[in-house]
Amino acid sequence: MKKLLRHTSPDPNQLALQLDFFSGDFSPSSAVDNPAPTPRAGLEQAPPADQAPPARPKGKRRIHFREHVLDYTLLRSKRRSIGFVIDDDGLRVTAPRWVTLGEIENAIHEKQRWIFAKLTERRERSARRLQPQMQWRDGAALPYLGIDITLRIVGSQPAGVRYDETRRELTVCLPADASERQLKDRVLGWLQSEAKQLFAERLPLYAAKLGVTYKSFTLSSAMTQWGSCTADGRIRLNWRLMHFALEQIDYVIAHELAHLREMNHSPRFWATVQSVFPEFAAAKKALRERGPETLPEF
């Protein structure tokens, strides 16, 4: 989601735009879904002609496509247009009371590409969420700059953390009786240190390309945003970006700095991002597909 945050007292220097996890595209009659654990999202493959379709869930309506059967919830309201939301129960359609069922189903057909894409995306997220979490132990895989590096724990060397880029190993020196919390804290401290250094290198590059000047940057530990930018040039970047490839990190940096020219998410804003980062769509998609539930827990 992309949000324009306005504080109670509308100080222009406090306006901030944020790049959220799972950010998607708004359309006039749609809402972007929020992640939620769901084993199925209401979209099923149509059964063979000689096989009875599965029972329709109670309280839902059903619409048939050539290759799929879609169950959805219909709510009537005072709103003036038909709205679509993908939530933890699949598709929810909200429509004015005067709109006919035929018109609603026509609207679903018109939006089917968006609906199917979002339902599939949600199902894939659910599958990833069921994957086992990282085990904090010697030999574990830690995502770092788009690759998996191996965690090595040793107690016979001076305290510290050392990364061997050639071997792709992160060696953490800890006593044999160290707790998992101590290990996490060491790795967290290293990742945040690496983030400060990398972000400090990449921000000036894209600021120069865009012809903008930012006031400061700080690390963020937000659980819902990759980054944010205020109108007076204060940039916040999530240290968890260090789990991703440089292309995704540069996209977030270009995205936030572009707000210093366009404090919105208008077509002009996206054109500004594209002018310095032409492959932004692929990077945006990669970030949207990797939610916090797929990353190591600290």
Residues 6+ apart with CB under 8 A from 280: 251, 254, 255, 270, 273, 274
**Does residue 1 have a pLDDT over 50?**
no
Residues 6+ apart with CB under 8 A from 62: 56, 69, 70, 71, 72
Domains and CATH numbers, the chain: 33-129 (no CATH), 180-294 (3.30.2010.10)
What are the pLDDT digits (tens) for 24-81? 433 333 333 333 333 344 555 555 555 656 677 788 899 988 778 899 999 998 888 9
Tokens describing residue 252? 């977030």
For tokens 């063979």, name the residue.
Answer: 48
pTM score: 0.65
Compare 31 and 247 and report the one with higher pLDDT: 247
Residues 6+ apart with CB under 8 A from 97: 76, 77, 78
Tokens describing residue 183? 């290990």
- Asked whether the beta carbons of 226 and 250 are under 8 A apart, the reply is no
CA distances, 12 to each of 44, 161, 230, 258 (Å): 48, 43, 9, 17
Per-residue confidence (pLDDT) for residue 129, from 0 to 100? 59
pLDDT band at 88 (very low <50, low <70, confident <90, very high): confident
Q: What type of residue sits at position 208?
A: A
Residues present in the chain in total: 298
What does the longest C-alpha to C-alpha distance in the chain come to? 75
User: Would you list the DSSP string of 170-196?
Assistant: EEEE--TT--HHHHHHHHHHHHHHHHH
Q: Does residue 227 sit in helix, strand or coil?
A: strand
Q: What type of residue sits at position 148?
A: D
Q: Round the average pLDDT of the chain to a whole number and report it.
A: 81
Q: What share of residues in the chain are helix, strand, coil (percent, to 5)?
A: 35, 25, 40
What are the pLDDT digits (tens) for 130-171? 555 778 999 999 999 999 999 999 987 777 899 999 999 999
